[in-house]
């Protein structure tokens, strides 16, 4: 029986589904059906979570830590995260009360956006969210759902996908509320240098003093430990003049290979940071409360005892970045720059638009490219359209997999491209 009067709420019905999640799930389903699909879609390290982190959770579970916990997290985790933000990232005035743990960085981002952005009142302009693009597919939908209006700042391969301070200055208006930064970048694999970020910080500081007093920065640093191109990671929240305006998002998913655990956190500074963290706790307290009780014990362990594991994985990613770039640079019409951080290659494949695949598929977009190579050569990639801007000319390749898989996948990509007419 169907009733076409029944409808999903407009704000969700119009929400763009995550294309990264969609292609990852499709590849999984095809593999379950017995197809030899090579997955390069998931932004997920292939390593197992370090044993010492698992043991802490097992011990907590066995010790009966199975009850509700304080919404922002247990005391030990908040203290360990505040110490990390202070000592590793140089964020001034970040105390345990400036930290809240959420169910993954995506959840942190979601709750943070709802605490920082308002739906416009009738007749009032929307709050603007400045987003250098291409960027991770979830920022725009989440910020828009919270009431923000996205102002895209285009970047290109030629600028290393970096927004210049001048571009930022031009994008800022009296309605600017949030600047979202992500370095190292998903999907570009590139980074801002400390000098770039200091220059961006200066623009933020000037704008906040003059035309945009409500401007804040949301700095997503979830890939900070996966860097290998000679660029040092820098936290914009460490700049004292703007520290109180910066919310830093991070989590354990990528650095510690813990995507399924769902641990993300934010850190902030000063009086506004305290008010923000309290607001996050109020919203999260009406949403999901604490994260799974017995995984808190793993947070201080990961942050203080796993440097060797992080280094082992970092070195593997460095080698894979090298291999992926070497293989891509030999494929005609595929323009790539070598990643310096995270684990993504983001080559421009638009030279092939207008062609037809061996299987007869017309390739006029990144989406059609990815659909065809998945169907014909069993390689799962992510089309670049939803990353914004020039992303529509690009495909994302997550090289968080073995060298053997990278070589096999690049063989298939070369074969697919070779068959385009």
Report, in Å, the least distance between residue 263 CB and ligand PMP: 7
Sheet holding 128-133, edge to edge: 99-102, 264-267, 246-251, 216-220, 176-182, 128-133, 149-154
How many residues at the interface with ligand PMP, by CB under 6 A?
13
Report, in Å, the least distance between residue 55 CB and ligand GLU: 26
Q: Which does 251 bind (CB under 5 to 8 A by kind): ligand PMP, ligand GLU, none?
A: ligand PMP
* Interacting positions 46-85 with ligand PMP (CB under 6 A): none
Report, in Å, the least distance between residue 190 CB and ligand GLU: 15
The answer to whether residue 42 forms part of the interface with ligand GLU (CB under 6 A) is yes
Q: For ligand PMP, what does the binding mask look like between residues 8 and 47, x meaning CB under 6 A?
A: -----------------------------------x----
Pick the closer one to ligand GLU by CB: 186 or 250.
Answer: 186
Residue nearest to ligand GLU (CB): 43
Q: Whole-angstrom Cα distance, residue 33 to residue 109? A: 34
Rg of the chain's alpha carbons, rounded to an integer? 22
Pick the closer one to ligand PMP by CB: 93 or 251.
Answer: 251
The answer to whether residue 264 forms part of the interface with ligand PMP (CB under 6 A) is yes
Residue nearest to ligand PMP (CB): 104
Report, in Å, the least distance between residue 386 CB and ligand GLU: 10
The answer to whether residue 185 forms part of the interface with ligand GLU (CB under 6 A) is no
Report, in Å, the least distance between residue 7 CB and ligand GLU: 27
Q: For ligand PMP, what does the binding mask look like between residues 102 and 141, x meaning CB under 6 A?
A: --xxx-----------------------------x-----
Contact 96, 318 (CB under 8 A): no
Report, in Å, the least distance between residue 344 CB and ligand GLU: 8
* Interacting positions 369-408 with ligand GLU (CB under 6 A): none
* Interacting positions 99-128 with ligand GLU (CB under 6 A): 106
Report, in Å, the least distance between residue 19 CB and ligand GLU: 8
Pick the closer one to ligand PMP by CB: 96 or 134.
Answer: 134
- How many CA atoms are closer than 13 Å to the CA of 54, on its beta-carbon side? 7
Q: Which does 105 bind (CB under 5 to 8 A by kind): ligand PMP, ligand GLU, none?
A: ligand PMP
Report, in Å, the least distance between residue 43 CB and ligand PMP: 5
Pick the closer one to ligand GLU by CB: 12 or 271.
Answer: 12
Assign 3-class secondary structure to the chain: CCCCCCCCCHHHHCCCCCHHHHHHHHHHHHHHCCCCCEECCCCCCCCCCCHHHHHHHHHHHHCCCCCCCCCCCCHHHHHHHHHHHHHCCCCCCCCHHHEEEECCHHHHHHHHHHHHCCCCCCCCCCCEEEEEECCCCCHHHHHHHCCCEEEEEECCHHHCCCCCHHHHHHHCCCCEEEEEEECCCCCCCCCCCHHHHHHHHHHHHHHHHCCCCCCEEEEECCCCCCECCCCCCCCHHHCHHHHHHEEEEEECCCCCCCHHHCCEEEECCHHHHHHHHHHHHHHHHCCCCCCCHHHCCHHHHHHHHCHHHHHHHHHHHHHHHHHHHHHHCCCCCCECCCCCECCEECCECHHHCCEECCCCCEECCHHHHHHHHHHHHCEECEECHHHCHHHHHEEEEECCCCHHHHHHHHHHHHHHHHCCC
- Tokens 């959840």 appear where? 107
* Interacting positions 180-239 with ligand PMP (CB under 6 A): 182, 186, 220, 222
Pick the closer one to ligand PMP by CB: 120 or 141.
Answer: 141
Taking contact as CB under 6 A, which single stretch among the options 98-106, 118-126, 153-161, 230-238 is the one that binds ligand PMP?
98-106
Residue ranges binding ligand PMP (CB under 6 A)? 43, 104-106, 136, 182, 186, 220, 222, 251, 253, 259, 264
Residue ranges binding ligand GLU (CB under 6 A)? 18, 20-21, 42-43, 106, 136, 138, 186
């Amino acid at each position: 029986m169907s009733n076409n009067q029944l409808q999903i709420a407009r704000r969700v019905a119009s929400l763009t589904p995550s294309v990264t999640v969609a292609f990852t799930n499709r590849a999984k389903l095809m593999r379950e059906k017995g197809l030899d699909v090579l997955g390069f879609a998931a932004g997920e390290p292939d390593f197992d979570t370090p044993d010492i982190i698992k043991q802490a959770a097992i011990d907590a579970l066995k010790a009966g830590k199975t009850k509700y916990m304080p919404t922002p997290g247990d005391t030990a985790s908040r203290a360990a995260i505040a110490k990390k933000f202070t000592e590793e990232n140089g964020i001034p005035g970040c105390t345990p009360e400036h930290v809240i743990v959420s169910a993954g960085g995506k959840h942190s981002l979601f709750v943070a956006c709802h605490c920082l952005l308002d739906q416009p009142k009738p007749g009032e302009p929307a709050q603007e969210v400045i987003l250098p693009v291409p960027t991770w597919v979830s920022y725009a939908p989440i910020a828009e759902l919270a009431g923000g209006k996205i102002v895209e700042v285009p970047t290109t391969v030629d600028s290393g996908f970096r927004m210049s301070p001048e571009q930022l200055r031009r994008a800022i208006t009296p309605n600017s509320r949030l600047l979202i930064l992500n370095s190292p970048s998903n999907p570009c694999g590139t980074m801002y240098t400390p000098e770039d970020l200091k220059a961006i910080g200066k623009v933020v500081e000037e704008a906040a003093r003059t035309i945009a007093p409500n401007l804040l920065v949301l700095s997503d640093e979830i890939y900070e430990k996966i860097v290998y191109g000679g660029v040092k990671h820098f936290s914009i929240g460490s700049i004292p003049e703007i520290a109180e305006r910066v919310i830093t998002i991070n989590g354990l998913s990528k650095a510690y290979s813990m995507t399924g655990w769902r641990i993300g956190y934010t850190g902030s500074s000063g009086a506004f940071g305290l008010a923000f963290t309290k607001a996050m706790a109020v919203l999260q307290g009406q949403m999901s409360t604490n994260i799974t009780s017995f995984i808190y014990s793993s947070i201080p362990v990961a942050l203080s005892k796993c440097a060797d594991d992080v280094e082992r994985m970092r070195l593997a990613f460095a080698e894979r970045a090298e291999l992926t770039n070497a293989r891509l640079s030999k494929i005609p019409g595929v323009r790539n720059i070598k990643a310096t951080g995270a684990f993504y290659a983001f080559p421009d494949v638009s030279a092939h638009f207008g062609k037809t695949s061996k299987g007869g598929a017309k390739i006029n977009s990144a989406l059609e490219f990815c659909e065809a190579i998945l169907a014909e050569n069993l390689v799962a990639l992510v089309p670049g359209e939803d990353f914004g801007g020039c992303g529509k000319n690009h495909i994302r390749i997550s090289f968080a997999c073995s060298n053997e898989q990278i070589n096999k996948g690049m063989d298939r990509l070369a074969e697919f491209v070779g068959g385009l007419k």
